[in-house]
Amino acid sequence: MNISVLGLGTWAFGSDKWWGWQSDSKSEEVLETAFENGVNLIDTAPVYGRGHSQTVIGRFLRQNKIREKIVLADKLGLRWHNRKVEHNLSKKSMLEEIDLSRKRLCTDYIDIYQVHWPDPDTPIAETAAVMEKFYAQGIIKAVGLSNYSLKQIQEFRKYCPVHILQMPYNMFERNIEIEIAPFCLQQGISLLVYSPLDSGILTGKFFFEKQRVPKDLRRKYHSGLKAPLLTINNEFFKQAKDIALNYNASLAQLALNWCIAQSGITSVLAGARNIAQIKDNLLCFAWKPKQLDLAKINELLEIRKREIKKSL
Ligand SMILES: NC(=O)c1ccc[n+]([C@@H]2O[C@H](COP(=O)([O-])OP(=O)(O)OC[C@H]3O[C@@H](n4cnc5c(N)ncnc54)[C@H](OP(=O)(O)O)[C@@H]3O)[C@@H](O)[C@H]2O)c1
């Protein structure tokens, strides 16, 4: 499977109170710009806007007749009832979900089908057996797991091959470096990383441009936008911006290039809401950070880590 290093994350296309409201026309413009500029990997999930992100993508692929040119990364395992979202990886639910997803995405097959989160109430063996069946039937082309621990991944692999892992990763969130990324390298598993911009925080816009944090999940939950991290992050951004400016680049590009340069990363899944954002993100390919600058960033990140420890 040939997948682009920059993948398009489409949670925001769902347009909901979690990730904020978004017009379909803007989402379509982002899809078009991404595709025209070589992005062939699109990541979505049924739970993004309760099917809406998938519907927007499915319509775009059908209208433009480009299904075969796109690698669709979809997910399953989070179901909703009224306002509540629940884990469900029972066989019955998985069989329902794959049909609903294929219908919304206007496709017979899903390239990368990822279990979104583990379900504490369903044995891993049951979930893995169903995924294995989908794979053997050819209705999915690769099996993926997201947000699983190494122990859970190893258990899953007893019953079903795992081709891809999808995990959170960015300058501020580096847990996968301990076990997951080395494991992927050793086992030849592709690693897709999500939230490479730390949900937009790493663009620095909430600090430099004093943009108001939108009324979505970030305002309520993101610790990076609250004291004491807010001040500590601000210091980091001031220094990191100087590095980005040496390349005439934005902080968003620097954050993406930092991820891409790390060992074991196959693709970064970055969200974008409009043409300006996707164009800015694509510009990360117009330059490459020097090793010296990557080392400087890591030094700044170490200082940040020490400051956080002190503040606790
Ligand atoms: N497997 C999972 O559990 C999981 C979890 C989370 C995400 N994901 C996937 O990963 C994708 C990306 O993650 P994410 O959306 O959480 O975070 P992200 O990619 O770190 O941040 C994306 C957001 O940052 C802002 N942004 C993007 N480019 C920008 C630019 N150049 N300048 C200024 N702002 C910019 C936009 O939001 P604003 O304009 O509103 O600031 C955009 O929606 C998701 O869409 C989804 O496909 C998967």
Q: pLDDT tens, 168-204?
A: 999 999 999 999 999 999 999 999 999 999 999 999 9
Superfamily of domain 1-162 in the CATH hierarchy? NADP-dependent oxidoreductase domain (3.20.20.100)
Report residues whose beta carbon is within 6 angstroms of any ligand 1 atom.
9-12, 20, 43, 116, 146-147, 166, 194-200, 203, 205, 214, 252, 269-273, 277, 280-281
The confidence score (pLDDT) of residue 220 equals 80
Looking at ligand 1, which residue's alpha carbon is closest to its atom 8? 194
- Low-confidence stretches of the chain (pLDDT < 50) are none
The confidence score (pLDDT) of residue 151 equals 98
The confidence score (pLDDT) of residue 24 equals 98
CA 195 to ligand 1: nearest atom: 20
The confidence score (pLDDT) of residue 307 equals 94
Looking at ligand 1, which residue's alpha carbon is closest to its atom 29? 277
The confidence score (pLDDT) of residue 105 equals 98
Residue 113 a catalytic site member? no
DSSP-assigned beta bridge partners for residue 144:
114, 164
The confidence score (pLDDT) of residue 224 equals 81
The confidence score (pLDDT) of residue 82 equals 82
Burial of 135 (0-12, 13-18, 19+ CB in 10 A): middle
The confidence score (pLDDT) of residue 137 equals 98
The confidence score (pLDDT) of residue 219 equals 82
The confidence score (pLDDT) of residue 172 equals 97
